[in-house]
Chain A
Amino acid sequence: MIEIIQKVKNLSIGFKSKKGEEILILRNITTNIKKGETVGIVGESGSGKSTLALAMMGYVKHGLYTIGGECEFNSSNLLKMKNRDLEKIRGRKIAMIPQNAGQALTPNLKIGYQIDEALQLHSDLKEEEREQKISELLNKVRLPSPETIALRYPHELSGGQQQRVAVAMALAGTPDLLLLDEPTTGLDVTTQAHVLELLNFIAKDTGTSMVYVSHDLGAIAQVSDRIIVMYSGEIVLEGPSRDILKKPIHPYTYGLLKSIPKLSLAGLPQSMPGSQPQPGTMHRGCSFFDRCNFSEEKCKNNSPQLEYLEELKTSIRCFNYKSLMNDSQVNQTVNKIKTSLQDKEILNLSEVSISYAKQKLLDQVLNRISDDNPTVKDININIKKGETIALVGESGSGKSTILKSIAGLLRTKGGIIKFDQDRNLSSDLKERDPNDLRIIQLIFQNPDESLNPNHTVEEIIAQPLKLYFGLKGEELKKNIIDLLQKVRLGEFYMSRYPRQLSGGEKQRVAVARAFAAKPDIILCDEVTSALDVSVQAAVLNLLQQLKEDFGTTYIFVSHDLAVVRAISDRVAVLYQGRLCEVGPSKDVYQFPSHPYTEVLLGAVLEPDPDIKPKLVAEDIVEEKPPQKGCSFQGRCSRILGDICKNEIPPWQITNSGNSIRCHIPLKELQKDQIN
């Protein structure tokens, strides 16, 4: 008999709208968490997954309230418990690892104190024993030199270290149940893989049950035994993780898995139409009805119940699961990208270097930048018309910095940016003429911040049209409607404000604004990072379509190697502001690779429990590029010795035209990587 740790019974949580209607965030959730198992709760933003996790600790956010049901732990309902009693359970029996440890650690308290606080509350240890225990815990989460870390403040640690501290803090009370709310979301790929590996180790080592909440099926696949899929506040699918990931029998999960770009496949993933309904806008019938490819008439008016299938040990909320059961292998079909590459060179960066160092007074007066070890150095890239080139790397690799200089938002220290073979572009905005500005447009990561909240969609798109082409009246309006159609938005969106749009719609408006200028080059800075996966696929497909129609060149910055694989013709890998590898994307994703590319590729999480990440190098954070030698020397697991420390590696060209900057001969590079 397997012991059940937490029982969630018919739980509904919601809030009262301004009109006094009851709006549900969670709708009638019932599930059990067993001892020692790891359950993944997956869903897109707004699906209620975090609210569910918090309810499992008896915590309901300000503004929300419990409408019905209970969360039972040790045969008492946490949601009805007094705060005083909850304090004895929280941290001791059930502990939380938060999404963003940087925000969740109190800024004015030292790391050691914050862990000590948990120990004081939840153990009987004496002071010296606690000190000992703090070191033990910090050691367990593999933080270097625990004694010094304990004396630091949260902001003095890197993102990965902060997340480890949060794990240590949660383990301080030796809880029976750990709740993890997107614990790796803000982290770099390699750090994420390391933290996940640590969590897996802890689950095995301590036998703690875990509830792992995430939007990322890749991360969920690595840790969970069982998966709960949530959609607009309901459980739509619950079952063993392998079955759910390999044979998704719910149309939503099926579509979700298809919309995730994968490393092994070039080309764009298929997108799901529409987006998840907002709480309070649900109608009768299945909540997934609008987006479902398998729906029937009856789905429109009747909502399916959660049904338990004995033979699959799976619960499903769908009338039509049988049609998917027979053929639900996620045979990934991808939309192959057509490359519209021309031979003409459109942008050339030569010897570009950029410095963030604060300039001395003398240099300011002389209007020059002097820094012998700049943030970005020796960037030579030749971009062809119609090409999509991706810049990839972890945070601090300088990829966005380079983009800013191309856009003219950041002065370079040196080097030349040349447009169309003969026109030098100054990296200083003031020295560019209006046409220079028009030919290069930017799309930002977060449309919430890049669209003016006080402008309607019409005003937002009208601006470049007026500015660059002086359009007025009817003609202006016609152009705006045209552009909206191009990004698949109807005419009625013109009068809307950004806050009235969903994340995907906002990003479409941002895309339309960029295309309004009829640019030659569009710089895309992490354009899909803030979007849900199903929406991400749609935006990627849209970008590709527009590129084919207009012959635009994209410079695409992303930390997500799978997304880059899907959309780009060529990839440039950056570490610490220096190029490591440049080549056609199909070759960069194959061996031989630069050791850093190998690290990045190994850390990618695929939504498949059988593909485990390979952790090649430590996830150390380097603050500055090394003064001399190879930029990756500090983390390289294959460092040769003094040559790597003193000499800048040469460019080696593979047979397929891939350039790798490494001292290790190509043949030897390849030898180890194939194994």
Chain B
Amino acid sequence: MLFLIIKRILLGLITLFIVSLITFVGTEILPGDACTTYLERQAFGEQLEACYRRLGLNVPAYERYVSWAVNAIQGDFGYSLSGEMPIKEVLGPRIKNSLVLASAAIFIGIPIALILGIVTALWRDKLPDVAISTVTIFAMTIPEFISATLLILIIAIWLEWLPGIVIVPTDVSFLELLPNIILPVIAIAMIMTAHMARMVRSSVIQVMASEYVQMAILKGVPYWKMVFKHVLPNALLPAINVVALTIAWLLGGVVVTEVVFNYPGLGRLVIESISNRDLPTVQALAIILASIYVSINLLADLMTLMLNPRLKTLQIRK
């Protein structure tokens, strides 16, 4: 078991290393660089040289990679080019904001998704299922920029209940941020909940059709006891990985929603730094997003391993 965890962590680190290499090489071979973008028409001669020297772009690529990597491991991603401030400081509040948005969506969305999925599966083809399934399919198919815009139109503009877009400085306190996140959370939770509810539904239906559930019925186990003891533990196991991917997706910044609501999270930072050719920030973001994905997937796998007696013994035997 311990061996397995260490092995998985090592594999995760290798993945991160490869990601960092790819982003570095990618930014290298793109035409132009931070200085040419920054200086625009003045990008020649002495001024360009000076810029290169200032940003440390005048040494060979591999040297830059090594020094960047060494610093990155210590949490120092260098300087953002556009604002000329440490990337650490740019990222900090953004990560916090994204975390707030994501956790709100997770805490609201996941329980609702589980309940909807289970209800639709247990009342399969009956009224609750038909009604909820129709809604979830709609929620799944409508792109988030449309649902987000509609939300703004109805709740912010017509009803004037909540602010339509977020106009606060990036580093506001949590309480000030709170009213601003309600609409984005709804927009995100809708699509996420719908996806997950469908997944949970099909998984529960599959388990309900299994021989062991039929056996439990024939054993005389009362319906709800059967659902909680025999069905759900087995049906929700595969949901863990989907939940993990969703969480990773949320933490990685829900780009579209953040842009529509002007939300100062990681997603908008991605867009901003790409359009500004702020390559060090893009690099830092790539690494951070990759680490989020890797670690959350690792956690999910370990959780499945813990909860599934089948896998547990298999691993120990090996």
Contacts and interface: CB of A to CB of B under 8 A. Distances in A.
B315 interface: no
A109 interface: yes
B233 A108 contact: yes
B310 A104 contact: no
B219 A105 contact: no
B212 A117 contact: no
A117 B215 contact: no
Interface stretch (B77-85, B133-141, B222-230, B286-294): B222-230
Interface string B286-318: 000000000000000000000111100100001
Contacts of B173: none
Contacts of B318: 358
Interface string A40-66: 000000000000001001010010000
B219 A121 contact: yes
Contacts of A59: 214, 217-218
A36 interface: no
A87 B307 CA distance: 29
Interface residues of A, number: 34
A104 B211 contact: yes
A104 B212 contact: yes
A156 interface: yes
A100 interface: yes
Given A96-B218, A121-B220, A173-B220, A62 B211 contact: no
Interface in B170-195: none
B141 to A, nearest CB: 28
B215 A105 contact: yes
A155 interface: yes
Interface residues of B, number: 26
Contacts of A156: 313
B222 A87 contact: yes
A87 B318 CA distance: 42
A121 B215 CA distance: 14
A98 B221 contact: no
B58 interface: no
Contacts of A54: 218
A103 B210 contact: yes
Nearest to A173: B220
Nearest to B233: A108
Given A62-B209, A106-B212, A121 B221 contact: yes
**B interface: dominant SS:** helix
Contacts of A106: 212-213, 215-216, 229-230, 234
Nearest to A57: B218
Interface centre among A106, A153, A358 (most CB of B within 10 A): A106
B45 to A, nearest CB: 55
A107 interface: yes
A118 B212 contact: no
Nearest to A169: B219
Contacts of A107: 212, 234, 309-310
Nearest to B313: A156
A54 B211 CA distance: 13
A80 interface: no
A164 interface: no
A273 B14 CA distance: 63
A335 to B, nearest CB: 39
A440 to B, nearest CB: 34
A90 B212 contact: no
Contacts of B210: 103
Contacts of B229: 106, 109, 117
Interface in A63-96: 83-84, 86-92, 95-96
A64 to B, nearest CB: 13
Nearest to A84: B222
B158 to A, nearest CB: 46
A554 to B, nearest CB: 35
B220 A122 contact: yes
B215 to A, nearest CB: 4
Contacts of A98: 211, 214-215, 218
Nearest to A89: B220
A90 B217 contact: yes
Interface in B231-289: 233-234, 237
Contacts of B234: 106-108
A169 B215 CA distance: 11
Nearest to A61: B214
Given A59-B217, A108-B234, A103 B309 contact: no
Nearest to A91: B220
Contacts of B308: 108
A396 to B, nearest CB: 16
A106 B220 CA distance: 14
A113 to B, nearest CB: 9
B14 to A, nearest CB: 16
A90 B212 CA distance: 15
B221 to A, nearest CB: 7
B221 A117 contact: yes
A105 B209 CA distance: 14
Nearest to A93: B220
B217 A105 contact: no
Contacts of A105: 212, 215
A92 B211 CA distance: 20
A109 B223 contact: no
A402 to B, nearest CB: 25
A210 to B, nearest CB: 15
A460 B267 CA distance: 52
B221 A87 contact: yes
A358 B317 CA distance: 13
B218 A88 contact: no
Contact of B309 (A84, A96, A108): A108
A62 B220 CA distance: 17
Interface in A464-485: none
A485 B120 CA distance: 51
B230 A91 contact: no
B263 to A, nearest CB: 40
A83 B309 contact: no
Interface in A592-631: none
A432 B310 CA distance: 39
Interface in A330-358: 358
Nearest to B124: A62
B220 A88 contact: yes
Interface centre among B217, B223, B308 (most CB of A within 10 A): B217
A397 to B, nearest CB: 22
A95 B218 CA distance: 7
A104 B214 contact: yes
A92 B212 contact: no
A92 B220 contact: yes
Nearest to A104: B215
**Which A-B residue pairs are the 3 nearest by beta carbons?**
A91-B220, A90-B220, A103-B211
10 contacts: A88-B220, A91-B220, A103-B211, A105-B215, A106-B212, A107-B310, A117-B221, A118-B220, A153-B309, A155-B313
Given A84-B222, A98-B214, A173-B220, 5 more contacts: A59-B217, A87-B222, A91-B221, A96-B219, A155-B309
